[in-house]
Amino acid sequence: MTAYDDLMAFTRDTQALGQVAGRLGWDQETMMPRGAAPQRAEEMAAMESVLHSRRIDPRVGDWLAAIDDKTLDTVGQANMRHIRRSFERTSKLPAALATKLAKLTSAAQGIWAEARAADDFKAFAPTLAEVIMLKREEGQALAAGGDVYDAMLADYEPGTTGADLEAMFGSMRPVLSDLRAAIRDASPVSKLEGTFDEAAQMKLTRQLAKTFGYDMSRGRVDKAVHPFSSGSGLDVRITTRTNEADPFNCFYSTIHEVGHAAYEQNIDDAYLLTPLGSGVSMGVHESQSRIYENQIGRSHAFTGWLFSQMKEAFGDIGVADADAFYATVNRVGDGFIRTEADELQYNLHVLLRFDLERALMAGDLQVSELEAAWNDRFKADFGYAVDKPSNGVLQDVHWSVGLFGYFPTYSLGNVYAGCLNEAMRAALPDLDADLAQGDTSAATAWLGANVQTHGGLYEPREVIERAAGQAPSEAPLLTYLKEKFSGIYGL
């Protein structure tokens, strides 16, 4: 066997152990009894210790040194790029710090959930301060004198910096704010009213998952506080949540997570349990979930079909016709929760978090000041005050589990989705006729062939540029949003 063969065999086992660790996280969110949290924290820490030791194993460095990348094909070179990047990154991180972070963030997740339920930020603040202290220490080790936040961002979106995102988001914010202000002055769109049986919601949501191509023989749909997708390859699971007063929360959370899951399920099987066998970045990942949820799932054509399915599942839902239903699905209204926000205002939620977490990592904002800073920024951006912590600073799980640098990839994913939608519509001129019948296969096949099958073969922005035929830009997204909401609100 060659050094490359030995390296890939070792890497395959590491990837498999990583999947096991991910399954522990999925179980913690869905099935694990609450009383098991302290033990699970120990288990997660032990798994992270094993994984970290494998990622910095001296043999990996020896194999990397022995391999001439020029002798490898495109796939081999891509594998080497990922392995080398991971090895160099992980080698900078002390094993004790990695283990301490894994243990703390596992415990912090439960503390956050209890604080959220009690609407008590002060109960979570000391733990969050500990997480931030360790994440800052991690960032400093990874940055090696460079920007700490950029080092964190590289974990989720290689090749993108905080300055890049600040410029992009700076171009988006005034356009979104102006459009939102115009809509507030327009005639309102009716909100869905009534009570919608939660068992019926779950039945229809599983149908929607299949409609968008989710392979249930390699996945499952469960319920969790915060919807998420977990796993890759042959075992990709999603969660959703129900609210008897808001079935759209369930349906569009499911479609969103199916976008993530479909990406993982549709990666070329040849890449299974290799560095190429997962989505290349969170921004590209989010492009799939957002285009499934919004450009496809909230389109006029598809909502016409969903209208008929909802009437079949729930009877009279109090909406006159398919046109009114389309407007209701895309209604722009006041709300606090990012995951429930309409397409227009969603990015304003993300920009708020991006600015706050950068300030936290830079030391310009202290945890003791965070709740007030959140509330002030929210009122400035949205025009009304946060009523309670669970609708504000405590609503997201991300900071409790140490995912700093993750939030901006949501808006970057929206930007990527705008580029992909423009290209997909040009390639599939009859797409709306299919979507009106509840047939998403042409759209999902196009995304599968142009984005998903590649896994980690290309760098993130290259994936989008190859599929869209242009460098990523916020322009297509902003054009799409202006046209869509101007039509709905008669602007």
Q: How confident is the model at residue 287 (pLDDT cuts 50, 70, 90)?
A: very high
- Does 250 lie in the same domain as 199? yes
CA–CA distance, 138 with 93 (Å, rounded to integer)? 7
CA–CA distance, 431 with 416 (Å, rounded to integer)? 20
- Does 418 lie in the same domain as 269? yes
Is the confidence at residue 336, as pLDDT, over 90?
yes
Residue where a domain stops, chosen among 122, 146, 170: 146
- Does 133 lie in the same domain as 187? no
In a domain, 155, yes or no: no
- Does 410 lie in the same domain as 325? yes
Give the per-residue pLDDT at 284: 98
Instruction: Kindly report the number of other CB atoms within 10 A of residue 470's CB atom.
Output: 13
In a domain, 79, yes or no: yes
Instruction: Write out the residue range of the structural domain in which residue 114 sits.
Output: 3-146
Give the per-residue pLDDT at 17: 96
For the whole model, what pTM was predicted? 0.91
Residue where a domain stops, chosen among 99, 114, 146: 146
- Residue 393 is part of a domain; what is its CATH number? 1.10.1370.30
The highest-confidence range among 35-44, 181-190, 363-372, by mean pLDDT, is 363-372
In a domain, 49, yes or no: yes
Is the confidence at residue 74, as pLDDT, over 90?
yes
Task: Please give the average per-residue pLDDT across 264-286, as a whole number.
Answer: 97
Residue with tokens 């798994």: 47
In a domain, 152, yes or no: no
Q: Reduced to 3 DSSP states, what percent helix, strand and coil does the chain have, rounded to the nearest 5?
A: 70, 5, 30
pLDDT tens figures, 379-434: 988 888 999 999 999 999 999 999 999 999 999 999 999 999 999 999 999 999 99
Residue where a domain stops, chosen among 112, 146, 180: 146
> Count of domains in the chain?
2
Task: Please give the average per-residue pLDDT across 338-354, as a whole number.
Answer: 93
Is the confidence at residue 52, as pLDDT, over 90?
no
- Does 188 lie in the same domain as 101? no
In a domain, 153, yes or no: no
Residue 157 CB contacts under 8 Å (≥ 6 apart), including other chains: 281, 282, 283, 405, 408, 409, 412, 460
In a domain, 92, yes or no: yes
Give the per-residue pLDDT at 364: 96
CA–CA distance, 472 with 417 (Å, rounded to integer)? 10
- Does 134 lie in the same domain as 187? no
pLDDT tens figures, 207-250: 999 999 999 999 999 998 878 999 999 999 999 999 999 999 99
Percent of the chain with pLDDT strictly greater than 90: 88
Give the per-residue pLDDT at 429: 97
CA 108 to chain centre: 20
Give the per-residue pLDDT at 352: 96
Give the per-residue pLDDT at 142: 93
In a domain, 151, yes or no: no
Selection from 41, 13, 46 nearest residue 25 by Cα: 41
- Does 481 lie in the same domain as 382? yes
- Does 131 lie in the same domain as 170? no
In a domain, 124, yes or no: yes
- Does 212 lie in the same domain as 92? no
For 230, phi and psi rounded to 5 degrees? -140, 140
- Does 181 lie in the same domain as 127? no
Catalytic residues, by residue number, are: 257
- Does 479 lie in the same domain as 357? yes
Give the per-residue pLDDT at 412: 97
CA dihedral in degrees (462, 411, 364, 396; nearest 10)?
-120
Give the per-residue pLDDT at 346: 94
- Does 128 lie in the same domain as 196? no
